[in-house]
Every structure is written in structure tokens, then in C-alpha cells.
Chains A and B, each alone.
Chain A
């Protein structure tokens, strides 16, 4: 392919058009990075928040305080060791007169009010709204502390194993989803919207009035799309790896192959929605029609398996679902080519069908 070949020149034009538009570069590369950072930080694993309770100033109050102080001190001394119990948060106690504590409960300023009679075996009363999750947690935590202080022993030793190692956190779940979302956005904006804009601006007509081989034009647009996929993928993988210590367990070449299959499927859909459309409004509507269900159902931000079983055949048929699942399987579980054969087949089917229809329907003028 020489420098003056139509294919090369068309491809070059597409590349230039993209990298000369800083706004586009932000939306394609900057936005997913920001999204990953914001969501990654929001769902970061942290030690449990302290539990705050109001204690009614009465006969048994000081004994309760002593038990809680002992508990807090033990919690503090175990910090940094392997045995930190993450379901046991520190407890903050406010000792208040009854009327004030109850007012604070009514107005939602505290979640739990504790009233204890003097003496270790005397009753304890918890007042709380059972529909508030933090209230039920606080009740359980305080009750354990008080019961153990009163002499309860736990006859059966229990061990908690926490799943917090890289590879199973929310950010690990999210980054393959963002890679897939980028492949979808690229097909819609970089193919669908682009071609409709060319049609509106009569550029398609102007090109087709020349001896330009039509095949070269479409190849150049597709080639540019796949080229942009490389920085797309690299940036998000590096972000996951360097900033969040996300494991990349599978083969990087396989990740790229799956991403290319996904990008081709979305390029086909983009081409199809652009094949006859000649207004910006229509193409925007069609793009939303395609993208919205996939944003919602394809399991980018939360697992697609939460949707009812009846909806699963539809959800599994969506190209984004397959792309997200295949990327997650390779990146997080180290799946091989054979393991992602079905997603590749489904994405391939989308590509073949959409291209076949689009090329039959496509209007240059």
C-alpha cells in the first residue's frame, strides 16, 4: 500500500481528524479513566466505619461504658495483625439524658439508644428503627459486646476469610466493563455518527462522485476504528494494573482479539444505523436505542445475572454482554481462547449479520 493509495490516504485522513480534536480525545480516553478512578475510589475496600450509639445516663451506664472501652481497646491493639475482624467496628458512645437521647432517635440523629439496668445480668433495652440497616448492625455489635462482657462464651470457634485480594474487587469488575463500553461507543460514534455527518455534509456524495473505490473508504474507516482500539485498551489496562493493582491473568493478545471482535460487532451496528439515516436527530435516537439497553442490562456496572431468568436469553444475546463477560473471563480468571469461543461466535455473528445488512442498505447519496 503506497503513500498515494486511496486506502492509505483515507486512513490517514481519519486518524488526523480524530487526534486533532481534543474534545473527542477526552470523551474517548479521558472520560473512562475518570469514571474508573471515581468508581474505583468510591467502592474501595476500607476498614469498617465506627458504630455510634446513644447511651441513656442511668444506673447501668458506666458498666456499659467500661465494657465498650475494653472492647475498643482490644480492637485497637489487634490492628495491623492478621486477626482484625472486619465485621467488628469500633463503637462510639454518647452518654445522654433519656429525653435528649430519645429526641435524637426520633429525629434520626442517632440510630440506636441503649438503656441498661445496673448489674451484669439485668436486662438491656435497645430502641431502634429495624428498617435502618445501620441500626440493626449497631444493635448486633453492641449486644455481642455486652453479652460477652456478661460472661457469654462462644462454644464453636469461627474463622472469617475475607475476599479482598486483587481480582475480585469492584474495580476489577469495572475495568473490563469500561473497555467493552469503549468498544461500543467507538462503533456508534466513530462509525455511525461519523458516516451520518458525512452524509449530511454531502461529503459521501462528493467522494462517490470520484473514482474512489468504495471498499477502500469503508476499510479505512474500519481500520481507523481498530487503530483507536489499541490506545483505548492500553490505557484502561494500564490504569487497572498500575493504579488499582488489577491482575491481568489471561493472555494480552487474546484480550486484544476479543476486543477487536467486539469492536467489529459494534462497527457493524454503527454502519447499519448509518446506512440510510440523514439527520443528526435520527442517528442520535438510534444510537440511544442501541446503547441504552446495553448500558443497563449488559453487566458493565453490576452483574447481569441479577436480572430475572426470563430476561437472560435477551441479555446474553446482546453483544456488550458477551464482550464484557469474555473480557472479564480472560483478565480476571485467565480464560483461554477455548473458554471464550462462545462469546467470540456470538460477536462474530453480530458482525456478519450487521455488515451484510448494512452493505445492502447503505446509501451514499
Chain B
């Protein structure tokens, strides 16, 4: 097998904390293959940015081995910088510079690379070539940041939460930039806390929580580990006594049944065309009228909830069932 673009062994990073030292990265092993788009997923504070900054040479590890493009930061820093591109979270560029001027400035740092126009073309900002930074929208500024990272024609591109805070259209435009890069055989390392983003862009993802990788594989692999492909969500009319989640776990093709925080039920099923008739028949028999019913594919978000849910709680099904809906849980963990 050829050399990986990034090779990390037993990486740790410890920060001095208020009470006790904080272990932001707690023993990470990682191999990122050349030409893949790799996603580092996790809630805020999970250790993603610290990990990426160590890979980018902007932060020093406490211990562990890091090789980027087969080189080490301590001895070949300058060489690595020539061959990687870095987009940080929300860089504020000088506001009175034009897009062309800034890209020209960054181009001057590299021995070889794209022309200024090529780099701007890659992020579709040609119409803003002579606009000042202050006249760009948030999405355009983020694309400018990507153009700046691309101008050295990097073999490996780091994107740290590139779409956080962007509107859906700007987000899609950035996704196109990433897909184009991957199609041209470049390696991309992306961090995000949007599961949808990782699912759409990444060949492989690592789910990181509390400084550790808790799952690694392609989005499809991770999803299939949940057992089923589909989620059936439904709610019942009335405020009468609600049947326990277990009442539905025995139905045909249902793998898992959970009571959601909003009073609805969530079933993980392998075959919706069998599970739904069985469910309807069961509700009919018990005289429980249906308020709503939806089905969807299992997403990485479900994987994440299932993984961190076990991690967060003591693992009993009751507390899992009582937990708020997935999205909200992600947020409350971030706040914590």
C-alpha cells in the first residue's frame, strides 16, 4: 500500500486546565489515504480542531507521532507547508483588500501553484475579483479562504468546519469545491459537526468524542453497524397512557424501538414495507390512533447518537429513551 497522506500514532494533547489538566486529544491513531476525502466528526470541544491544528503544524502535540505526506513537522516544516493548504474556522482578512490582491499575496508565499485567476475560479468567485473583502457575504468570504488555501495547489487540503454558519446555498457551493478537489485526486481532511455534510462528502469518517476516535469507516459502513437502514418515526393522538417503547420492539423487521423526548416513537427497521403494515395492525388492535408517521434513511446522526448515547449515559435503555431528540442532544452536549 502506498504511503498515507496523514499518519498519526497515539497522539495526545494536554492543556493546563483550571482545576486539572485537560486532555483535549487522548490517544488518536489515524491513517488518511491519498486521494480520499476524510471527515473528522464530533461535537464542539471533542478535540477535532486541536487534532487538525497539530496536523497543520500550528499546535504541538504533547506526545505521539505525526507524519504529513511522509514528512515530520520538526524537521520538514517548510516542505510540508509548501504542499498543504489550510482553511481555518472564520479567518478575518483585511477588509480593504480585494479578492485578487489577497489571493496574489498568498500566491507569493509558494514556490509553485495556481494562478490567482485559477484559484478564484475554483471557488467560483470570478465576479468578485475586484471586490473588497468587506463587500463579500459570509459564504463568499469562506470561499475566499478556500481559494487562499488552494492557491499553492496543495496535495492535502485541511478544511476546519468550512460551512459552519453558512446559508444552505453557500454550503452547497463549498461542497462542490470539495468534490472537485477529490475528483482531481487531492486529499481533503474536513472537520464538521454537520453529519449531513460528512455523509455527502466523505469517503471515510472518524467520529471523535472526548478526544478519542469512537468509530471509523465509510458513512455507509457506520450506518450499517446500526443494523437497519431505515427509521420509522410516529406519534399517537391523545394524552392517555402511552404504551412503553418495548410494545413495538417485537414487530416484524423492527430492530430497535425508542421513545423520543417529544412523546413520539422511533423504530430502527430493516424493511419498512414489512414493519409499517405490522405497526398499523398493532395500533389498530390496541385502539391507538396515529397522529403522524414518517420514514427516513438512517443517517450518520443516528450513528452518532447511538455511539455517544452509550458513551454519555450508563447504557440502560430507559435513559436512552428519555433523552431528547438527536439534534437537541448534540447541542446540549456542546453547551456542557
User: Is the C-beta of B97 less than 8 angstroms from some C-beta in chain A?
Assistant: yes
Of B56-64, B264-272, B319-327, the segment with at least 4 beta carbons within 8 Å of chain A is B56-64
Tally of chain B residues near chain A (CB < 8 A)? 32
Asked whether, in the complex, the Cβ of A211 is within 8 Å of the Cβ of B97, the reply is: no
Asked whether, in the complex, the Cβ of B93 is within 8 Å of the Cβ of A20, the reply is: no
**Given A16-B96, A16-B101 in contact, is the A202-B108 Cβ separation under 8 Å?**
no
User: Is the C-beta of B210 less than 8 angstroms from some C-beta in chain A?
Assistant: no
Asked whether, in the complex, the Cβ of B148 is within 8 Å of the Cβ of A202, the reply is: no
User: Is the C-beta of B82 less than 8 angstroms from some C-beta in chain A?
Assistant: yes
User: Is the C-beta of B8 less than 8 angstroms from some C-beta in chain A?
Assistant: no
Cα distance A13–B91 in the bound complex, in angstroms: 17
User: Is the C-beta of A99 less than 8 angstroms from some C-beta in chain B?
Assistant: no
Which residues of A179-227 are within 8 A (CB) of B? 200-203, 205-206, 208-212
Asked whether, in the complex, the Cβ of B81 is within 8 Å of the Cβ of A202, the reply is: no
Asked whether, in the complex, the Cβ of A202 is within 8 Å of the Cβ of B109, the reply is: no
Asked whether, in the complex, the Cβ of A206 is within 8 Å of the Cβ of B91, the reply is: yes
User: Which residues from chain A contact B86 at a C-beta distance below 8 Å?
Assistant: 206, 209-210
Cα distance A304–B152 in the bound complex, in angstroms: 55
**Given A4-B108, A210-B106 in contact, is the A205-B58 Cβ separation under 8 Å?**
yes
Which label, helix, strand, loop or mixed, suits the secondary structure of the B interface?
loop
Cα distance A195–B88 in the bound complex, in angstroms: 18
Asked whether, in the complex, the Cβ of A209 is within 8 Å of the Cβ of B58, the reply is: yes
Asked whether, in the complex, the Cβ of A205 is within 8 Å of the Cβ of B88, the reply is: yes
**Given A206-B86, A211-B78, A365-B59 in contact, is the A201-B91 Cβ separation under 8 Å?**
yes
> Which among A9, A210, A211 has the highest number of chain B CB atoms within 10 Å?
A210
User: Is the C-beta of A160 less than 8 angstroms from some C-beta in chain B?
Assistant: no
User: Which residues from chain B contact A165 at a C-beta distance below 8 Å?
Assistant: none
User: Is the C-beta of B90 less than 8 angstroms from some C-beta in chain A?
Assistant: yes
User: Which residues from chain A contact B84 at a C-beta distance below 8 Å?
Assistant: 209
Asked whether, in the complex, the Cβ of B93 is within 8 Å of the Cβ of A203, the reply is: yes
- B97 CB → nearest A CB, Å: 6
Cα distance A210–B82 in the bound complex, in angstroms: 7
**A13 contact from B57, B89, B94, B110, Cβ within 8 A:** B94
**A206 contact from B57, B82, B148, B152, Cβ within 8 A:** B148
Cα distance A5–B107 in the bound complex, in angstroms: 9
Asked whether, in the complex, the Cβ of B81 is within 8 Å of the Cβ of A17, the reply is: no
**B92 contact from A8, A10, A12, A200, Cβ within 8 A:** A200
- B208 CB → nearest A CB, Å: 21
Q: Which residue of B lies closest to A200 (CB)?
A: B92
Which residues of B63-98 are within 8 A (CB) of A? 78, 81-82, 84, 86, 88-94, 96-97
Asked whether, in the complex, the Cβ of B92 is within 8 Å of the Cβ of A209, the reply is: no
Cα distance A329–B247 in the bound complex, in angstroms: 96
User: Is the C-beta of B293 less than 8 angstroms from some C-beta in chain A?
Assistant: no
Asked whether, in the complex, the Cβ of A210 is within 8 Å of the Cβ of B110, the reply is: yes
User: Is the C-beta of B220 less than 8 angstroms from some C-beta in chain A?
Assistant: no
User: Is the C-beta of A122 less than 8 angstroms from some C-beta in chain B?
Assistant: no
Asked whether, in the complex, the Cβ of A9 is within 8 Å of the Cβ of B94, the reply is: no
Q: Which residue of B lies closest to A5 (CB)?
A: B108
**A16 contact from B91, B97, B110, B145, Cβ within 8 A:** B97
Q: Which residue of B lies closest to A210 (CB)?
A: B109
User: Which residues from chain A contact B88 at a C-beta distance below 8 Å?
Assistant: 202, 205-206, 209
Number of A-B contacts (CB under 8 A): 72
User: Is the C-beta of A348 less than 8 angstroms from some C-beta in chain B?
Assistant: no
Asked whether, in the complex, the Cβ of B57 is within 8 Å of the Cβ of A10, the reply is: no
> Which among B96, B97, B109, B152 has the highest number of chain A CB atoms within 10 Å?
B109
User: Is the C-beta of B295 less than 8 angstroms from some C-beta in chain A?
Assistant: no
**B104 contact from A9, A206, A365, Cβ within 8 A:** A9
Q: Which residue of A lies closest to B90 (CB)?
A: A202
**B108 contact from A9, A200, A203, A205, Cβ within 8 A:** A9
**Given A13-B97, A206-B86, A365-B59 in contact, is the A211-B110 Cβ separation under 8 Å?**
yes
Cα distance A12–B96 in the bound complex, in angstroms: 12
User: Is the C-beta of B280 less than 8 angstroms from some C-beta in chain A?
Assistant: no
User: Is the C-beta of A131 less than 8 angstroms from some C-beta in chain B?
Assistant: no
The contact string, 1 if C-beta is below 8 Å from chain A, for chain B 133-164, is 00000000000010010001000000000000
User: Which residues from chain B contact A60 at a C-beta distance below 8 Å?
Assistant: none
- B105 CB → nearest A CB, Å: 5
Asked whether, in the complex, the Cβ of B97 is within 8 Å of the Cβ of A210, the reply is: no
User: Which residues from chain A contact B102 at a C-beta distance below 8 Å?
Assistant: 13
**Given A5-B108, A6-B108, A9-B104 in contact, is the A209-B81 Cβ separation under 8 Å?**
yes
Asked whether, in the complex, the Cβ of B59 is within 8 Å of the Cβ of A20, the reply is: no
User: Is the C-beta of A21 less than 8 angstroms from some C-beta in chain B?
Assistant: yes
User: Which residues from chain A contact B96 at a C-beta distance below 8 Å?
Assistant: 16-17, 20-21
**Given A9-B108, A201-B93, A202-B88 in contact, is the A208-B101 Cβ separation under 8 Å?**
no
Cα distance A5–B97 in the bound complex, in angstroms: 18
Q: Which residue of A lies closest to B110 (CB)?
A: A211
User: Which residues from chain A contact B90 at a C-beta distance below 8 Å?
Assistant: 202
Report B's interface with A, CB cutoff 8 A. Answer: 53, 56-59, 78, 81-82, 84, 86, 88-94, 96-97, 101-102, 104-111, 145, 148, 152
Interchain residue pairs with CB less than 8 A apart (11):
A10-B108, A17-B97, A202-B88, A203-B94, A206-B86, A206-B145, A209-B88, A210-B110, A210-B152, A211-B110, A211-B111
- Sample of 8 further A-B pairs with CB below 8 A, known A17-B94, A209-B58, A210-B109: A9-B108, A201-B91, A202-B89, A209-B57, A210-B86, A210-B110, A210-B152, A365-B58
> 6 closest pairs, A vs B, by CB?
A201-B92, A20-B96, A209-B86, A212-B109, A9-B108, A211-B81
Report A's interface with B, CB cutoff 8 A. Answer: 4-6, 8-10, 12-13, 16-17, 20-21, 200-203, 205-206, 208-212, 365
